[in-house]
Amino acid sequence: MSALARWCARGRFVVLALWLAALVGLGGAVGGIGSTFTDSTDLPDSESSTAYDLLAQAGAATDEGASSTGDLVWQTDGVPVTDPPVVAQVSDVLAQIAALPGVESVVSPYDAAGAAQVSAAGDVAYASLALTEDADTEQITALADSLDSETLMAVTGGSAFDPGFSTGGGVTEVIGVLCALVILLLVFRSLWAAVLPIITGVAGVGVAALAILLGSNVIALPSYSMAMGSLVGLGVGIDYALFIVNRHRKALLSGLPLRDSIAQAVNTSGRAVVFAGATVVVALLGMTVLDIGILTGMALGAAVTVLLTVVSALTLLPALLAVLGNRVLGRGQRRALAAGGPVTEPGGGLWSRWATAVQRRPGVLGIVAAALVVLLAAPALSMRLGSADASSDPTDSVTQQYHQVMTEGFGPGFDAQLLLVGQTPDDASRAAFTALAGELSAVEDVAAVSAAPPAAGQEIGVITVTPASTAQAEATADLVTALREDVVPAAEVGTDLQVHVGGSTASGIDFAQALTSKLPVYLAIIAVLGFVLLALAFRSVLVPLIGAVTNLLSIAAGLGIVTAVFQFGWGSALFGVGSAAPVEPFVSVMVVGIVFGLSMDYQVFLVSRMHEEWARTRDHRRAVRVGMAETGRVIATAAAIMACVFASFGFTGERIIAELGVGMGAAVLVDAFLVRLVLVPAVMHRIGARTWWYPRWAERITPRVSVEGEPAAPTEDTPAGGPVAPELETTGRR
């Protein structure tokens, strides 16, 4: 690592040119090639996907076609929608829409084909539109708006008019970065030292974003990959650079020459960055065990971003440090250093006093910290995974207005229709299918039923069931379960009839259930992974066990806060994503993977310094106290920066990203301030020196992992128990 750092320092302008060339080259390639994201959530083994496959075999159109669909809905006040002036006005607008490029068809409620598109009360009607990708939806919306008058209101909606994914135009990310800059200025008291982690993190994320755009043309990546990469990459990238810059400043103040200081910082904290980044990448790539394409794509995008932020910290940052020289120090520090001799930064302070307090009252403080974490995690027990629909959108949004008008006219389940696709190979099964269609209207939460029996020469029939509740409602999920487990099996008995419940709502439920069923396996995998990595790093059984358990506590707290804010609705409106709704299925897995990696980082930063002091003195109480005192400041600073960056994504107005930002930001704060700086040291104090026990047989068979370079040469004060463990924390003693 030191050789790499010295090369980057010597060839600093070459390194800067290479990074600039990478940005320009990738940017040019993206400009020429573009991107091709896909958000398909196909589940090959799900019942809903089987239903779609059967429809495709029968030649029926599905939502996989080239066209997108939408609606123009209008509502009258005081007159029916069939009033001649209303019919004339609306028909004229519909004719103009039908003549627009990209409009394949318009089914009007005033035609025989659309007769069912008028509400029972007669005050709401809608026209169904089939559009190609190049259709001008803004022009269609403008024509719809032209219908508005004192007695008539019109609005467009449906998938064709979905505004699509947006992260707020980058404004929220900028706010998060500015907050991180303020924190760094307060800590370093040097503008250049504060700016360097920002530059390094942004450069890594920028190159990664361009790489993801290009990669979407080669492998299936969802549109969320960009935001996911920025969300994770900005937080970890700034933190990783922080550790190296802080170590470099310490080395400069101790009197080391510039290049030696850079080499030492990269060879020590740089190794920790590699370990930390590898942990996050492994946790993200572990999501492939879930075997869900869109989630794998999101994980790949985030993993690439983390990897490139590590590369940026190990190459670009040393080059920038070499260019700036002593300007990473404050003016007072530079003057003191120039006056002669090393400069010692003041020690002790808040974190030293806090470490002493935890040592004196480990039981009480540990119980309080654990109780707070459990309290924050408790809502996760009620977490329900599912996709939010427009009913929970902000009240002033067009999508919510569309949903409200359609609900008033056609019920809340108008966009939650279920498709019961039946295979009817003989007369008996066809009769059973017809009987099933007649019985469905009596099933709880069913608002309407329409059946299309098999056509001549066909063996596939379709029953469309409209629920009485919205797509995101728990009652709709219960209806799908009742149909699959009770109603349909009863209809199939004694015949060759096979019915599969599908539709977009059922697909969303299947997707959520697939994630829920595999989440325990993923949790077990990362818990074991964390145990093994920490055991290799610290030659201990209890240290990795404490780390694995506390990692799970931090994850649970993050999920609990997400559940409380977004599912219970305790503050979701503050983030501009509307009212209460189920937690998006992706969020639970992404929070588990990313928070695991970040928790591992902080555990290593904390325990490594403790382990170093233990190896030097064999005084367990002192080791825990000193390790906590000397790492407290950097862990708190890193967590505050990461929480600012994560939390800023909570205000994008995009529910999935908001849930991830709030969940991970909260989890990082809980992990740093309650778990790593209270609970873990309290538990270690209570356990005592047994914390460092490691079986002899394990010592013989497990390889040694050097997280931060070679240990210092032993002195006469070094005990016979073994070599001094290298320091990992960036504000520690030398």
Mean pLDDT for the stretch of residues 713-727: 36
pLDDT in tens, 362-387: 999 999 999 999 999 999 999 998 88
Question: Is 176:649 a contact under the CB 8 Å cutoff?
Answer: yes
- Same domain, yes or no, for 220 and 296? yes
Mean pLDDT for the stretch of residues 252-281: 85
* Mean pLDDT computed over every residue of the chain: 85
- Same domain, yes or no, for 576 and 652? yes
Q: Which two tokens stand for residue 97?
A: 């829409």
- pLDDT tier for residue 713 given thresholds of 50, 70 and 90: very low
> At 379, which helix (H) or strand (E)?
none
In a domain, 415, yes or no: no
Residue 565 has pLDDT above 90, yes or no: yes
pLDDT in tens, 486-541: 999 999 998 999 999 998 889 888 888 888 888 888 888 888 887 888 888 788 89
How many whole angstroms separate alpha carbon 260 and alpha carbon 274? 20
Nearest to 730 by CA among 645, 550, 594, 604: 604
Higher-confidence residue of 211 and 45: namely 211
- Same domain, yes or no, for 613 and 657? yes
- Same domain, yes or no, for 217 and 91? no
Exposure string for 169-185, b = 16+ CB within 10 A, e = fewer:
eeebbebbbebbbebbe
In a domain, 658, yes or no: yes
- Same domain, yes or no, for 77 and 194? no
Q: What percentage of the chain exceeds 90 in pLDDT? A: 37
- Same domain, yes or no, for 699 and 550? yes
Mean pLDDT for the stretch of residues 53-70: 66
How many whole angstroms separate alpha carbon 666 and alpha carbon 11? 41
- pLDDT tier for residue 721 given thresholds of 50, 70 and 90: very low
CATH code (residue 149): 3.30.70.100
pLDDT in tens, 428-478: 998 999 999 999 999 999 998 988 877 766 788 899 999 999 988 899 999
Note the pLDDT of residue 732.
36
pLDDT in tens, 602-634: 888 888 888 888 888 999 999 999 989 988 888
- Same domain, yes or no, for 310 and 365? no
Residue 388 has pLDDT above 50, yes or no: yes
Q: What dihedral do alpha carbons 391, 505, 135, 35 form, nearest 10°?
A: 110
Residue 132 has pLDDT above 90, yes or no: no
- Same domain, yes or no, for 538 and 569? yes
Residue 44 has pLDDT above 90, yes or no: no
In a domain, 202, yes or no: yes
Higher-confidence residue of 452 and 665: namely 665
Residue 153 has pLDDT above 50, yes or no: yes
- Same domain, yes or no, for 320 and 360? no
DSSP 9-36: HHTHHHHHHHHHHHHHHHHHHHHHH---
In a domain, 44, yes or no: no
In a domain, 715, yes or no: no
Q: Which two tokens stand for residue 217?
A: 């043309």
- Secondary structure tally for the chain: helices H, strands E: 25, 8
Q: State which residues form the domain around 147.
A: 67-161
DSSP strands (E only) in 191-293: none
- pLDDT tier for residue 113 given thresholds of 50, 70 and 90: confident
- Same domain, yes or no, for 155 and 231? no
Note the pLDDT of residue 677.
95
Note the pLDDT of residue 346.
57
Note the pLDDT of residue 39.
64
Residue 668 has pLDDT above 60, yes or no: yes
In a domain, 385, yes or no: no
Question: Is 154:72 a contact under the CB 8 Å cutoff?
Answer: yes
- pLDDT tier for residue 686 given thresholds of 50, 70 and 90: very high
Is the C-alpha dihedral spanning 654, 668, 384, 223 positive or negative? positive
pLDDT in tens, 351-360: 899 999 999 9
Residue 734 has pLDDT above 80, yes or no: no
Mean pLDDT for the stretch of residues 102-113: 90
Residue 636 has pLDDT above 80, yes or no: yes
Least confident piece of the model among 217-221, 417-421, 566-570: 217-221
Is the C-alpha dihedral spanning 48, 53, 58, 59 positive or negative? positive
CATH code (residue 682): 1.20.1640
Most confident residue range from 160-174, 276-290, 544-558, 588-602: 544-558
Least confident piece of the model among 237-251, 562-576, 667-681, 697-711: 697-711
Nearest to 460 by CA among 501, 499, 505: 499
Note the pLDDT of residue 360.
94
Number of domains observed in the structure of the chain = 3
In a domain, 29, yes or no: no
Note the pLDDT of residue 253.
85
- pLDDT tier for residue 709 given thresholds of 50, 70 and 90: low
How many whole angstroms separate alpha carbon 67 and alpha carbon 313? 46
Higher-confidence residue of 142 and 514: namely 142
Domain boundary among 161, 177, 208: 161
Nearest to 189 by CA among 315, 346, 354, 16: 346
- Same domain, yes or no, for 542 and 670? yes
Note the pLDDT of residue 369.
96
Residue 163 has pLDDT above 70, yes or no: no
How many whole angstroms separate alpha carbon 564 and alpha carbon 582? 11
Note the pLDDT of residue 42.
58
- pLDDT tier for residue 165 given thresholds of 50, 70 and 90: low
In a domain, 337, yes or no: no
Domain boundary among 118, 140, 161: 161
- Same domain, yes or no, for 129 and 233? no
Mean pLDDT for the stretch of residues 282-291: 80
Residue 66 has pLDDT above 60, yes or no: no
